[in-house]
Copies of this chain bind each other. A is one copy, B any other.
Amino acid sequence: MRQISPYISVDCVLFGYNGSELEVLIVDRTLKDDNSDELIINDRTLTGNHVYEDETIEDAAYRVLFDLTGLDSVFLEQFKTFANPDRLKRPNDQLWLQRTNRNPDARIVTVGFYSLVATDKVKLIWKGRNVNWVPVKEVGELAFDHNEILQEALKTLRLRIKYEPITFELLPEKFTLTQLQNVYEAIWGIELDKRNFRKKIARMKYLITLDEKQTGVAHKPARLYVFSREVYTKTKKELFDFTI
């Protein structure tokens, strides 16, 4: 029996893209009163879990994602660690810890990871809990310190896509340039000029044009593209270009 670390957890901010908005995976947290069957907790959290004593935190995060999505090669990156001694001290959180057989007084350090998947790749099941994609803009109050974790993940994502071609992770394997542009727009919450966007994209050698086109759309079908990690790895500059 693998030993669980009572002090270390990971939380995964799983971002998805549904074709128009940036979404995040949110799970419902409900608890019924033993006698009355009344809901005494009914709120929402990100996904996370404790880490096994002999497991790296990266593996733990992959495990959470695999349990959740069945996917085993998603993009995953650590972004920040949350360890405030009060982070689990709100009444509902204390109650939840008690009822799930954990020590509510323990100080749990959680390492935040964020992940990117195409929303439609994911079938949602997680430990019998109700799991939903929620547009980032519509996420209300979350349990624990999960609103803070989400905001930090978003901040990291917004910065990271400036340097690294990871936006593809939010799209199907074959995608159109408009879809790609929409991903940037959804993450940054701004609009980009189509022609300028395409000029910039044209410089990225790792975006491979396919001989295929969209089908079944009621307008001129768009060309499809794929991301070539191989070309990217070969051509990427040493870390980034140095200009102050």
Q: Is the CB of B83 within 8 A of A80?
A: no
> What residue of chain B has the Cβ atom nearest to residue A52's Cβ?
B85
This chain: copies in complex: 2
Interface size class on chain A is: 35 or more
Q: How far is the CB of A187 from chain B (nearest CB, A)?
A: 10
A71: Cβ under 8 A from any B Cβ: no
Given contacts A85-B55, A85-B56, contact A244 B8 (CB under 8 A): no
Tell me the chain A residues, 21-44 only, with Cβ under 8 Å from chain B. none
Q: Is the CB of A56 within 8 A of B81?
A: no
Q: List 29 A–B pairs whose Cβ atoms lie within 8 Å, in order of A's numbering.
A: A5-B7, A7-B8, A7-B109, A8-B83, A8-B107, A53-B85, A53-B107, A54-B85, A55-B85, A56-B83, A56-B84, A56-B85, A57-B83, A57-B109, A78-B81, A81-B81, A83-B111, A109-B109, A155-B239, A158-B239, A159-B240, A161-B244, A162-B240, A162-B243, A162-B244, A184-B244, A190-B242, A192-B244, A197-B244
> What residue of chain B has the Cβ atom nearest to residue A7's Cβ?
B7
Binding site for B on A (CB under 8 A): 5, 7-8, 51, 53-57, 78, 80-81, 83-85, 107, 109, 111, 155, 158-159, 161-163, 184, 188, 190, 192, 197, 200, 239-240, 242-244
